[in-house]
Structure 1
Amino acid sequence: MPTGTAIRDVREQLFDAAERILLRDGPTALTSRAVTTEAGCAKGVLHRHFADFDAFLAELVADRIARLDDQAAALRGAAGTGTVAGNLTEALTTLFDSVAVGIVGLVIARDGLRDRLRRTAPTGLPLLAEASAMLASYLAAERDLGRIAPDADVGTLAPTLIGAAHLLFADPGGPPDPGAVHRTVTAVVGGPAPSAGAR
């Protein structure tokens, strides 16, 4: 239906504009006026499609969380291939190379947005909680394949990786060197599980 297509296009245009502002200027610069100006549309367009600015931001966060599904499937599919540290490094770099750092800052900075998100996600920090679940699922698959220690606590390793990577990528000096991410992953997860019969 043409009307639905037009609405979706406007929503994506506004979401993309908000992401550009987050990446360029940070969460404090994100206002409804800044978004519509960046998107090149009239000021009232945002409020025709969303109840208020926090509703817009909540849908932006939800949209970006939904995009993790493809990454999660790809990461689970990588279990048993490459190296565990390499797969995790790539996953974390993809996650935080996008707007994840800005989204997290936005959720922390805006009480109204956080309250609205709590209605559907009462625990954890939105986006990071889902990313942690993605890593835990992958780590569980690798544990089942014997590529990490059989007693590895994936429920602790996953959020530890998310937190450590977030600190690296939130550095105002710019994104970390890929080697720094890999070293952090290796320090958290450890090396490969010993082969059968090895000490």
Structure 2
Amino acid sequence: MTRKKRKPIPPSDPVHTDSVHTGPSAKLKATAFHEAGHAVMAMLLGRPVEKVTIAPGQMQSGLSRLGACKMQKGMRKPSRDPLEDEVLILLSGMVAESRVTGRYCQLGASQDLHLVKSLLSENRATNERQLQRLARRMIDKTENLLSRAEPTQAIELIANELLKNETISGRAVRHLFEISKQSHS
């Protein structure tokens, strides 16, 4: 008995098995937590946020992006180490997203990781081994800062608000951040 040749199911077909694991709601949720992570770390480090969005768009380089966390220009508290602050903010999206997905998703964070590597290579690391050590230390510090109760709750609040509204203002970010601080003081 011979089987009839069947056409393969195209990836866009709703029955396609891969879509069960990578459905748009899972991607959107991961993106919301990613962007919320950037916003919360910025707030922890005294960098005011202008807005956060999970709406897809394009970067200046022409590449597409899944979401964005835009900082207010020229507004920041003095920092002991501005470069480290920038790296922590860049890594915080990936760290926050990993809490939802259970792993570091480098695809969504590829631009962030590229910027981290560039910043550390240009300013701190003299070789690849040193770059890897610095990056690991920064990831550990990011995980430590975001693992506390206040930032964890703030990330959840902001991510849930993003899932409802797609874009939220810096004022809304500050409000949600303050709610998390008050509930843990």
| Normalised TM-score (structure 1) | 0.32
Greater RCO (CA < 8 Å, at least 6 residues apart): 2
Structure with the larger helix share: 1
| Normalised TM-score (structure 2) | 0.34
